[in-house]
Amino acid sequence: MIPQHLVDLSRPLDADQPRFPSDPPILHTVYPDDGFLIDHIELVGPTGTHVDTPRHVHHTLPGLEIVQPLLALFVIRPGDSVDHIAPGTFVALHTGCALTDPAAPGWSLEQLRVLHKRGVAAVGHDTMNTDPAEFAFDGHFPGQQFWLRNGHWQVESLTNLDRVPREGAHIFVGVPKLSNAGSFPARVYALWDDQ
C-alpha cells in the first residue's frame, strides 16, 4: 500500500556539505568504461545523513546488520519528556538548528538513559551529533558513546522533521548490506496516512 504522505529526511551528498574538521570531503570521479559512465566515490562512513551503529565505537560490536528498516516514528523537541515513548520505536529530535550551529542542542544523557530503559530501538536528530554542539566541538561524546555501546543505532543529520507529525508516522532507513561497517550514508523517509 502506498502511504498518503512521504517526506524525504535525507540531505544531499556533496563535497561542500558540513562535516567534522577531521573528516575528508567526498571525492567523486566519473570514468567512461565500455560505453557507460562509472562513478568512483570516496567518503567516510559518517557522511551526510547517515547511520551510526555500535560498531562505530568498537570493532567487536554489531554493525549495519542491526538496522531495522521500518519503525514507528516519534518526533520530539528539545526538553520534551520521553517517558511516553513506546518500546521498539525510532525517536527523532527536531532541534530546527543548522548543522554547523555551535549552540545546537542535542540529546541529554538522561533522555538517552530513559529511552534505553524503555527499549527504544533507535534515535535520530537534525544535528551532526547526538550530543549538544558544545560537547561535540570539544571532542566529548557521552550521549553517543552511551547509546551506541548499549546496542542501539542512530541516524544523524536528518532534515525536514518539521514536515512530519509528532506521532503516527513510520520511518524507513535504507542502508546497503556492507559487512563490518559501523557507519554509512542512508536514505531516510517518513511515511504516514491521514488518521
pLDDT tens figures, 127-162: 999 999 988 777 789 999 999 999 999 999 999 999
What mean pLDDT do residues 160-171 have?
97
Query: How many Å apart are CA 93 and CA 158, to the nearest integer?
Result: 9
Residue pLDDT, tens place only, 31-79: 987 889 999 999 999 999 999 999 999 999 999 999 999 999 999 999 9
Strand partners, 169: 73
Q: Identify the pLDDT of residue 140.
A: 84
Percent of the chain at pLDDT above 70? 100
Query: Can you tell me whether residue 112 is helix, strand or coil?
Result: helix
- The pTM is what? 0.95
Q: How many residues does the chain have?
A: 195
Q: In order of start, what are the domains of the chain with their CATH numbers?
A: 5-192 (3.50.30.50)
- 20-26: which pairs have CB atoms within 8 A and are 24 or more residues apart? 20/46, 20/128, 23/47
Assigned C-alpha cell, 147: 547509546
Burial 145-179 (b: 16+ CB within 10 A, else e): bbbbeeebbbbbbbbbbeebeebebbbbbebeeee
Q: Identify the pLDDT of residue 62.
A: 95
Residue closest to 62 by CA, chosen among 145, 186, 183, 185: 183
Residue closest to 92 by CA, chosen among 141, 49, 126: 126
Query: How many Å apart are CA 118 and CA 88, to the nearest integer?
Result: 9
Asked whether the CA dihedral 63, 69, 71, 75 is positive or negative, the reply is positive
